[in-house]
Amino acid sequence: MDFRRAVVALLLAFGLGQGVALVYMATFRGLSYSRSSVHSMAMGSVITCMLMLSVGSSIAAGIGVAVGLSAVRFRTTMRDPRDVMFVFAALGVGIACGLQAIGAALGGTAIFAAGTLLLHFTGWGSRRQPDGLLRFTAPAAAEVEDALARVLRAHCRTFSLVTLREAAQGTVMEHAYQLTILAPELRSALVAKLQAIPGVQDVSLMLQEPTLDL
């Protein structure tokens, strides 16, 4: 393969790899964003393209590359399958460019990017998660239970009791609720109303981002 065609294939792999990385950055929703993962997508396509250009149609060269790669130990663990998908897409771009399948590289990248953006902005596959977890202790009395139910119904769209256990030799009960609050501005009011009920103590509301799968 001549030098010019190889350079064009490598530059195309780098550009399309950056395109995959840009889509990943635009649609990322998580707690542990990694810049190195983005770099690996952009540069991984170049590496795979270089390998495919080097191997060409030589079986012996292909076996040598496979043996060399098997000796490499990757220490990074990707917990999100979505991250693995993007890295695999970048490697696929490099393979396609290295094999001079320019149409497949361009078309595959465009459809992958369009499909990812469509799924992201339409929210396809997402499920409504509770807004957070509410914990507190309250006396084991019927009137307190009634007051708690009234406050929760007034401030929450849904609430469900997930933990109820005795504490302080049975004189108080520890409550834990998963709940969906009617509006974000009612969070402080909910905590204040619960604290105003006689005997209710240690009120804590732990919120979670509803777009995350925890």
Instruction: State the pLDDT confidence band at 186, using cuts at 50, 70 and 90.
Output: confident
For residues 134 and 162, what is the distance between their CA atoms, to the nearest angstrom?
10
What tens digit of pLDDT does each residue of 142-171 get?
Answer: 888 899 999 999 988 888 888 888 876 767
For residues 25 and 186, what is the distance between their CA atoms, to the nearest angstrom?
33
Across the range 3-16, mean pLDDT stands at 85
CB 8 within 8 A of CB 15: no
Across the range 126-154, mean pLDDT stands at 83
Q: Give domain limits for the chain.
A: 3-122, 132-207
Q: Please state which of the ranges 45-54, 176-185, 189-198 shows the lowest mean pLDDT.
A: 45-54
User: What's the chain's average pLDDT?
Assistant: 79
What tens digit of pLDDT does each residue of 14-37 get?
Answer: 888 888 888 888 888 766 677 777
How many CB atoms within 10 Å of residue 58? 11
CATH: 3.40.50.300, 3.30.70.890, 3.30.70.260, 3.40.50.720. Which one for 132-207?
Answer: 3.30.70.260
What local confidence, expressed as pLDDT, does residue 160 receive? 87
Distance of CA 105 to the CA centre of its chain: 26
pLDDT at 212 over 50: no
Beta bridge partners of 18: none
Beta strands in the chain (DSSP E): 132-139, 156-167, 172-181, 201-207
User: Would you give the end-to-end CA distance of the chain in angstroms?
Assistant: 49
